[in-house]
Every structure is written in C-alpha cells, then in structure tokens.
Amino acid sequence: MAAAGGALMLVLAVPGSASAATGQFRYSYQTADGYDAVGFINNPESRRCINIQGADSDGTSAAYAPKNLTDATATVFLEADCMGDIFYSLRPGAGASERLLVRSVVFS
C-alpha cells in the first residue's frame, strides 16, 4: 500500500511534457534592408502564442504567405500577441497567398 501511494505521489510530482505540433511553419517577410526572406518555426509549442520574427508590431510590415506544414491547426493573427479581430485558421498542410498578412500564430 505504501509503495502504491509513493508511486502515485511521484507521478503527480513529475510535470508532464509540453505538447507541440510536429513539423514546420513557414512564412515570408521583408528584411530591414528590403530583401525577401523566409522564416520558419520548427515543432512549435501548442496553445502558446508566438510572435513571428521579422514581422514588426508597429503596423508597418507583416509576414505573409504562411504555410502550415505541421500536424496541428495554426491560427494566424494580423496583430502581435494573437490579439485582434483579424485572424485566419490554416489546417495542417495548408498554405495561404501573399495577401494574408500575419504577425503572430498559435497552434492547436
């Protein structure tokens, strides 16, 4: 009985691993020097907002043409910190045109 109770306490004390989407999320953006570049996020953590590197939050430039090559749904937002009324969901394996501007993303 004591061994079973100790095992239960050990299971409860060990934190679970964070779930993550498997795969890569890709996007395009323009560098400060005006060059086109491609950015990516590998195996992103699920249910955590990620601000996209290369996309300014000042409203002047955003990343574009996102491609969700992960196994989870990606919800992209026009604003940083996954805020605002403008967002779009990309199912696993889907991509969007250059017209879709993004500054942050969260994975299911």
- How do the domains of the chain map onto residue ranges? 22-107
Residue 18 pLDDT = 62
Among 15-19, 23-27, 60-64, 73-77, where is mean pLDDT lowest?
Answer: 15-19
* pLDDT of 85 over the 50 cut: yes
3-state secondary structure of 55: coil
Enumerate the H helices of the chain as residue ranges.
Answer: 2-13
φ and ψ at 68, to 5 degrees? -95, 95
Among 14, 40, 12, 36, residue whose Cα is nearest residue 26: 40
- The CATH architecture of the domain made up of 22-107 is Sandwich (2.60)
- The predicted-structure confidence for 17-47, as pLDDT tens digits, reads as follows 468 899 999 999 998 888 999 999 999 999 9
Cα(14)–Cα(65) distance, rounded to whole angstroms?
40
Q: Mean pLDDT in the chain?
A: 85
- Whether the CA torsion 64, 90, 94, 52 is positive or negative: it is positive
